[in-house]
């Protein structure tokens, strides 16, 4: 997808360790796509790709890549559509997302998508030679339904 080659996208997709080891965005994305257990969803792959990676039989890790100009209401609606698919057609009962503490946009996006902050990891992401904490968000079917109701009001 052209999305992964847009300026500014690569810095959000992998940390310094992956870069030091020569693991680039393209190979990481190919590995994700080739996995039979990963769901790659999105209404327009040139603007947004959402992947759900299994953690257990009923829990998935959420990963979102957005084009810089694809922000706001439309991106939230698109993400909610992928969540609806996951809850309706897969064994998914809960979704976890990790947002770097320095990335406010990701944290607002998670909250607007109905996810709730449940904790954080300490020094779990290496960027520009510095360890950054990540905030953990969790979403369930009930959280998704609440977000949809709130958006319709």
pLDDT digits 0-9 by tens, 72-105? 788 888 888 888 889 998 999 999 999 999 988 8
Query: What's the confidence (pLDDT) of residue 6?
Result: 52
95 touches 62 (CB < 8 A): yes
pLDDT digits 0-9 by tens, 44-72? 777 777 888 888 889 999 888 777 777 77
Q: Which residue has the higher pLDDT, 42 or 64?
A: 64
- pLDDT band for 3, please (50, 70, 90 cuts): very low
Report how far residue 16's alpha carbon sits from residue 93's, in angstroms, rounded to the nearest whole number.
32
CA distances from 150 to 111, 144, 145, 147 (A): 12, 10, 9, 5
With residue 109 as reference, give the H or E element that holds it: helix 104-112
Query: What's the confidence (pLDDT) of residue 139?
Result: 94
Closest CA relative to residue 41, chosen from 25, 23, 60 = 60
DSSP state, 2?
Answer: G
């Amino acid at each position: 997808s052209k999305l992964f080659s847009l300026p500014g996208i690569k810095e959000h997709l992998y940390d310094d360790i992956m870069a030091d080891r020569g693991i680039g965005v393209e190979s990481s994305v190919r590995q994700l796509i080739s996995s039979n257990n990963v769901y790659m969803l999105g209404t327009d792959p040139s603007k947004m790709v959402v992947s759900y990676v299994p953690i257990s039989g009923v829990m998935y890790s959420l990963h979102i890549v957005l084009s810089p100009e694809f922000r706001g209401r439309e991106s939230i609606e698109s993400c909610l559509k992928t969540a609806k698919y996951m809850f309706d057609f897969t064994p998914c009962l809960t979704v976890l997302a990790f947002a770097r503490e320095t990335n406010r946009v990701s944290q607002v996006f998670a909250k607007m998508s109905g996810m709730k902050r449940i904790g954080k990891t300490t020094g779990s992401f290496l960027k520009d030679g510095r360890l950054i904490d990540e905030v953990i968000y969790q979403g369930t079917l009930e959280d998704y339904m609440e977000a949809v109701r709130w958006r319709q009001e």
